[in-house]
Structure 1
Amino acid sequence: MPYHNARLNKTRRELWGYDDIWDLNALLEIPDWVDESMHKCRVAYNKGIDNIRWEPYYRRTIGKIQRVYHDEIDYRYKYDNRDTLNALYAQRGDADEILIIKKGLVTDSNFCNVAFFDGNYWLTPASPLLPGTQRAFLLDEGIIRPAEIRESDIPAFSRIRLFNAMADWAHAATLDVSLIA
């Protein structure tokens, strides 16, 4: 939760100049209908909270990843508007997920940050589309390291891992890089 609070307050400060601090622990109330199964909580906000949505969450199986390209995409604040990401995802063909390349650099997948294993270390793109909360935690813990990863570097790695707040490191999809088309 501290990472979600930090991202929320950083976004409010950078986009709108707010310096008051919100605490999601105080703002969120789990509805009675939410059971013990995995759920995702979406908080949409600007000056105030627009809405809070709770949704069942199901982990996806990822067997193949398609590279897609967009040199102007900007998603650093986790906007509600995902039109550009959805258009890129539509280019996946028979793949289960996409890997977004921006100006020759690897960024993220559709819903996940990524890391690549070089035989010794897990490296994550230094310039992701979205600096995710799980990514921030893993960096702080020293589990992953930031690095500039060019598309041309992909064959030098053995594995890719796709992770986010809902697919933590232990449960993240891990594939051989040969499954990146």
Structure 2
Amino acid sequence: MPHTLCIETICIENRQFRNLPYHEARLNRTRRELWGYHDMWNLAELVSIPDTVDHTLHKCRIAYGKEIDDVRWETYTFRQIRQIRRMYSDTIDYRYKYDDRMELNALFSARRNADEILIIKNGLVTDSLYCNVAFYDGNTWLTPSTPLLPGTQRAALLNRGMIREAIIREADIGQYSRIKLFNAMIDWDNAPELDVCEILQS
């Protein structure tokens, strides 16, 4: 298989890594499944938070393959999301957190006036551009069992019982009232929440 870099995007809050065990688990699984490496990385030993990172919210972006290729540190700013457009691809593949996001970016560039996209694959709801999603049915928040990439925040929320998995078809969207978008940088309390009527047709 040709060499392809993958990435981990880790939230730094008050100069502490958030959900680090989930990132390590995904990174080590990716290295094993994609390239056959069986050594286990401990990110806290490999990556040190520099003095330039203060107590505000920061993003640590680690690009890696056999070794760590690059580490970047950036302050994080939340995007405002008011409308989401459905976009379709039955062939998109993002099972691993690839550095190459060309297919995702192509869908996002076709969103017209919407702020975000909701990707539909083979009739099933998957993810937005950078976030996993969950839908509210009046009692429970349900996340699609068919994400393009199962995120670390998603795994943490499932383990805490705050969300549950369900098969969610595009045709089911109207059965829900609300949608939330979350990822490693956006915890549940800060996740954008919209009425499903703001999910526009393509």
Class of the TM-score when normalised by the shorter of the 2 chains: over 0.9
Q: In the alignment, what sits opposite 1:156?
A: 175
Q: Distance in 2 between matches of 1:172 and 1:179?
A: 16
Post-superposition shift, 1:35? 1.8
1:142-153 alignment runs, 5 A limit: 142-153=161-172
Consecutive unaligned residues in structure 2, runs of 5 or more? 1-19
1:25 aligns with 2:44: yes
Match of 2:58 in 1: 39
Structure 2 residue aligned with 1:165, among 184, 188, 196? 184
Q: For residue 67 of structure 2, what is the aligned residue in structure 1?
A: 48
TM-score (normalised: structure 1): 0.98
Q: What is the CA deviation profile of residues 154-180 of structure 1, one whole-angstrom value per residue up to 9, with x for unaligned ones?
A: 000000000001000010000000000
* 1:92 lines up with 2:111 in the alignment: yes
Secondary structure of 2:26's counterpart equals helix
Matched, 1:121 2:140: yes
Which residue type is aligned with residue 148 of structure 2? L
Match of 1:76 in 2: 95
Shift of 1:55: 1.3
- In structure 2, what is the Cα distance between the partners aligned to 1:36 and 1:88? 35
Deviation at 1:32, TM superposition (A): 1.9
Secondary structure of the 1:115 match is strand
Alignment deviations for residues 52-105 of structure 1 (CA, whole Å, 9 cap, x no partner): 111121011100000000111111111000111110001111111000000100
Structural RMSD (CA): 0.7
Overall identity of the aligned pairs, in %: 65
Higher mean C-alpha displacement, 2-11 vs 30-39:
30-39
In 2, Cα distance between equivalents of 1:146 and 1:18: 30
Distance 1:168 1:11 in 2: 23
| In structure 2, C-alpha distance between the alignment counterparts of 1:137 and 1:37, rounded to whole Å | 22
For CA contacts below 8 A with separation 6 or more, give which structure has more relative contact order.
2
- CA drift of 1:43 comes to 0.6
Query: Which structure 2 residues correspond to residues 121-140 of structure 1 after superposition, within 5 A?
Result: 121-140=140-159
For structure 1, the 5+ residue unaligned runs are none
Q: Distance in 1 between matches of 2:96 and 2:73?
A: 20
Q: Which amino acid aligns with 1:162?
A: L
Q: How many residues align?
A: 181
Question: How far off its partner does 1:18 sit?
Answer: 1.4
Q: Deviations over 1:107-146 (max 9, x none)?
A: 0000000000011111101010010000000111111111
